[in-house]
Amino acid sequence: MANILIAGCGDLGTGLAKDLVAKGHQVTGIRRKGTLFPEGVEGITGDLRELPHELLPDVSLIFLIMTPNERSEAGYRQAYYDTAQVLVRRYQHSVNPVKIVFVSSTSVYGQNQGEWIDEQSPAQPNSVTAKVLIETEALLQQAFTCVSARCSGIYGPGRFALMKKVMTEQAWGANSWTNRVHRDDVVAALLLLAERMLKDQEVPAHVIVTDQTPVSMWEVKLWLATSLEAAIKANLEEGFAPQSGKRIVADYLRQHGWQLAYPSYVAGYRKLLIDFQQSLEG
C-alpha cells in the first residue's frame, strides 16, 4: 500500500482515485472547489498554490492533474507551472524520494503537416500554452523522478462540446488530423504508470496517451452529424484530405500492456451519443 496524492481531483482524478483506493492505497485528493470526494479518499478543498505545506501529506507518489481556468499563457502558468513549484518546495527534499506523474498534453508537439508522432519525436511547442507545459515538465523532472503523460484530446462522460458544435450552423473549416483518447483509457494509462513507478520500474521522462487511431476531423464530424441527423457543414470543394495536424501513436504504454477499452472514436462516442441525446430531451 502506498500513500498517494492526487493534486487535481476532478473528473479524471476522481476516476483514478476510485481505482487506487480499490487497490488498497491511501489516497488524498485536492480540488479547488467542492467537497465531494470518492469514498475512501481524504479530501482537501482549496487552491494548491495557497495551501499551507503542513496540509500536504507525506506521500510516495503524486499525480498532478490540473485544468486551467482559461486557455492563455497566464491561465496555463497558474494551473501548471505555479502548482508544480508548490510541489517542488514541499516535496523536493523529502526523506523518502517522491515520484510524480504529470498529466501534460500532446499540444507540445507543434508539428502540423500530417507528421507521425511517437515518443521519439521532438517536442516543438508553437504556442505559449504548450511552452508553459514544457517548462512545467522540465521543472518537475529536475526535482523528482517524473513522467509526463502527454494526452491527446480527452473525451468521455459529460464532455459534449464536439457534438454541440456539430449541431450548430457553424462551418467546419478546413479538414485536419485529430487525435483522441477516452477518459477511462487515460485512467487506465495512469494506473499502469503508477504501478510501474511504485515497483521502482524504469519509466521514461514522457509517454504519449492516445487511442492509436488518428483520424480526420471531418470523418469524426460526418459520423456524428449522421448519427445526430445534423446538417453537414463541410466545404467539400476544398477536398477531403486533411490540410494540417499530426498523427500520434502511444508506443510505450501499448508495449507495457495498456489495453484500450475504446480503441477508436466510434467505440468511444456510441455511449456518449446516447447520453447527449438524452440531455437534449431532458
**Residue 188, domain member (yes or no):** yes
pTM over 0.85: yes
**Residue 115, domain member (yes or no):** yes
Scanning the structure block, which residue is given the C-alpha cell 460526418? Answer: 222
User: Which DSSP string do the residues of 108-168 spell out, in sequence order?
Assistant: G----EEEEE-TTSPP---SHHHHHHHHHHHHHHHHSEEEEEEE-EEE-TT--HHHHHHHS
Instruction: Write out the residue range of the structural domain in which residue 147 sits.
Output: 3-156+180-214+247-264
Amino acid at site 189:
A
DSSP letter at 8 equals S
Residues above pLDDT 90, as percent of the chain: 91
User: What is the rounded CA–CA span in Å between residue 102 and residue 122?
Assistant: 18
Of the candidates 82, 126, 121, the one whose C-alpha atom is nearest the C-alpha of residue 107 is 126
User: What is the rounded CA–CA span in Å between residue 103 and residue 86?
Assistant: 16
pLDDT of res. 240: 83
Q: How many domains does the chain have?
A: 1
Q: pLDDT of 97-135, one tens digit each?
A: 999 999 999 999 999 999 999 999 999 999 999 999 999
**Residue 226, domain member (yes or no):** no
pLDDT of res. 223: 95
The CATH number covering residue 184 comes to 3.40.50.720
Instruction: Please determine, for residue 169, whether its predicted confidence score (pLDDT) is greater than 90.
Output: no
For residues 272 and 203, is the Cβ–Cβ distance under 8 A? no
User: What is the rounded CA–CA span in Å between residue 214 and residue 162?
Assistant: 16
**Residue 164, domain member (yes or no):** no
CA-to-CA separations, 97 to 92, 106, 164, 274, 275, in angstroms, rounded = 8, 28, 45, 46, 43
Using DSSP's 3-state secondary structure scheme, residue 242 falls into coil
| From 2-11, 231-240, 266-275, the region with the lowest mean pLDDT | 231-240
- pLDDT band, very low/low/confident/very high, at 250 (cuts 50, 70, 90): very high
For residues 256 and 196, is the Cβ–Cβ distance under 8 A? yes
**Residue 80, domain member (yes or no):** yes
pLDDT of res. 186: 98
Instruction: Please determine, for residue 159, whether its predicted confidence score (pLDDT) is greater than 90.
Output: yes
Q: pLDDT of 202-215, one tens digit each?
A: 999 999 999 989 99
Mean pLDDT (whole number) for 126-149: 98
Spell out the residues 6+ positions from residue 165 whose beta carbon is closer than 8 angstroms to its own: none
C-alpha cell at 278: 438524452
Q: pLDDT of 61-105, one tens digit each?
A: 999 999 999 999 999 999 999 999 999 999 999 999 999 999 999
**Residue 242, domain member (yes or no):** no
Mean pLDDT of the chain: 95
How far out from the chain centre does Cα 228 lie? 27
**Residue 279, domain member (yes or no):** no
**Residue 232, domain member (yes or no):** no
Task: List the beta bridge partners of residue 208.
Answer: 150
The secondary structure of the chain in percent helix, strand, coil, rounded to multiples of 5, reads: 40, 20, 40
For residues 225 and 166, is the Cβ–Cβ distance under 8 A? yes
pLDDT of res. 41: 98
Q: pLDDT of 172-198, one tens digit each?
A: 989 999 999 999 999 999 999 999 999
C-alpha cell at 276: 447527449
For residues 217 and 175, is the Cβ–Cβ distance under 8 A? yes
Amino acid at site 156:
G
Instruction: Please determine, for residue 247, whether its predicted confidence score (pLDDT) is greater than 90.
Output: yes
pLDDT of res. 236: 74
C-alpha cell at 170: 457553424
**163: alpha, beta or left, given left = phi > 0 and alpha = psi -120 to 50?**
alpha
- pLDDT band, very low/low/confident/very high, at 243 (cuts 50, 70, 90): confident
Mean pLDDT (whole number) for 32-47: 95
